[in-house]
Amino acid sequence: MEIAMRDAWGNALVEKGKTHPELVVLDADVSGSTKSILFQKEFPSRFFNCGVAEANMVGTAAGLASAGFRPVVNAFAIFLALKGTDQIRNAIAYNNLPVIIAGAYGGLSDSYDGASHQSIADIAIMRAIPNLKVIVPSDSNQAEQALEYALKQESPVYIRLNRNPMPEIEKSEEFIKEKAIKMIDGNDITIISNGITASFALEASKELEEKGYSVELINSPFVKPLDEETILKSIRKTKKVITIEEHNIIGGFSSAVSESIVKNNVCCKFKAIGVEDTFTQTGDYKELLSFYGISKENIVNQALKILN
Amino acid sequence: MNKQEMKDKAFDIRCSIIKSIANCGSGHLGGAMSIVELLTYLYYEEMNIDPKNPTKKDRDKFVCSKGHAGPALYSVLADLEYFPIEWLNTLNMGGTRLPSHCDMNKTPGIDFTTGSLGQGISAAVGLALAQKLNKFNSYTYVLIGDGESQEGQVWEAAETANQWELDNLIAFTDFNKQQLDGYVKDILNLNKLKERWESFGWFVQQIDGHDFNQIEGAIRNAKETKGMPSMIILDTIKSKGYIPGENILENHHIKLSISDGEKAIEELKRREGRI
> Using CB atoms, which residue from B112, B153, B164 is nearest to A55?
B153
Contact A159, A105 (CB under 8 A): no
| Percent of chain B with pLDDT strictly greater than 70 | 100
Spacing of C-alpha B21 from chain mean position? 17
Q: What is the pLDDT of residue B57?
A: 96
Catalytic residue numbers of A read: 54
The reported pLDDT for the residue numbered A2 is 77
CB proximity B113 to A under 8 Å: yes
Q: pLDDT value at position A1?
A: 61
Reported as a single tens digit per residue, the pLDDT across B183-235 is: 999 999 999 999 999 999 999 999 999 999 999 999 999 999 999 999 999 99
Q: Of chain A residues 65-94, which have a CB less than 8 A from chain B? A: 65-69, 71, 86-87, 90-91, 94
- What are the residues whose beta carbons fall under 8 Å from the beta carbon of A31, sequence distance 6 or more? A37, A40, A47, A49, A74
Neighbours of A85 (CB within 10 A): 18
pLDDT at A42: 98
CATH class of A2-167: alpha beta
Q: What is the mean pLDDT of chain A?
A: 97
In chain A, which segments carry CATH 3.40.50.920?
Answer: 175-307
Cα(B271)–Cα(B275) distance, integer angstroms: 9
CB nearest to A63's CB, from B105, B124, B164:
B124
pLDDT, tens digit, 9 for 90 and up, residues B119-140: 999 999 999 999 999 999 999 9
A48: closest CA of chain B, how far (Å): 9
Q: How far apart are CA B3 and CA B5, in angstroms?
A: 5
SS (H, E, C) A31-76: HHHHCCHHHHHHCHHHEEECCCCHHHHHHHHHHHHHCCCEEEEEEE
Q: What is the tens place of the pLDDT at every residue in A132-188?
A: 999 999 999 999 999 999 999 999 999 999 999 889 999 999 988 999 999 999 999
Interface test with B, best of A60, A64, A82, A96 (most B CBs within 10 A): A60
pLDDT of residue A20: 98
Omega into A130 within 30° of 0, i.e. cis?
Answer: no
Give residue A72's pLDDT band: very low, low, confident or very high (50, 70, 90).
very high
What is the location of CATH 3.40.50.970 in chain A? 2-167
pLDDT at A3: 87
User: Minimal Cα–Cα distance from B50 to chain A, Å?
Assistant: 17
Q: What is the pLDDT of residues A271-293, one digit of tens each?
A: 999 999 999 999 999 999 999 99
Per-residue pLDDT reduced to its tens digit, A93-128? 999 999 999 999 999 999 999 999 999 999 999 999
Interval A229-284: pLDDT, tens: 999 999 999 999 999 999 999 999 999 999 999 999 999 999 999 999 999 999 99
- pLDDT at residue A166, rounded to an integer: 87
Q: Write the CB contacts of B164 (distance below 8 Å, at least 6 apart in sequence).
A: A48, B125, B129
Return the residue of B nearest to A55 by Cα: B153
Instruction: Scan residues 164-223 of B and list those with Cβ closer than 8 Å to A.
Output: 164
R_g of chain A computed on alpha carbons: 19
Eight-state DSSP code of residue A200: H
pLDDT in tens, B47-75: 999 999 999 999 999 999 999 999 999 99
Q: What angle do CA A149, A151, A157 make, to 5 degrees?
A: 75
A175-307 — its CATH code?
3.40.50.920
CA A257, A260, A262, A265 torsion-angle sign = negative
CB neighbour class for B217 (10 Å; exposed up to 12, middle 13-18, buried from 19): middle
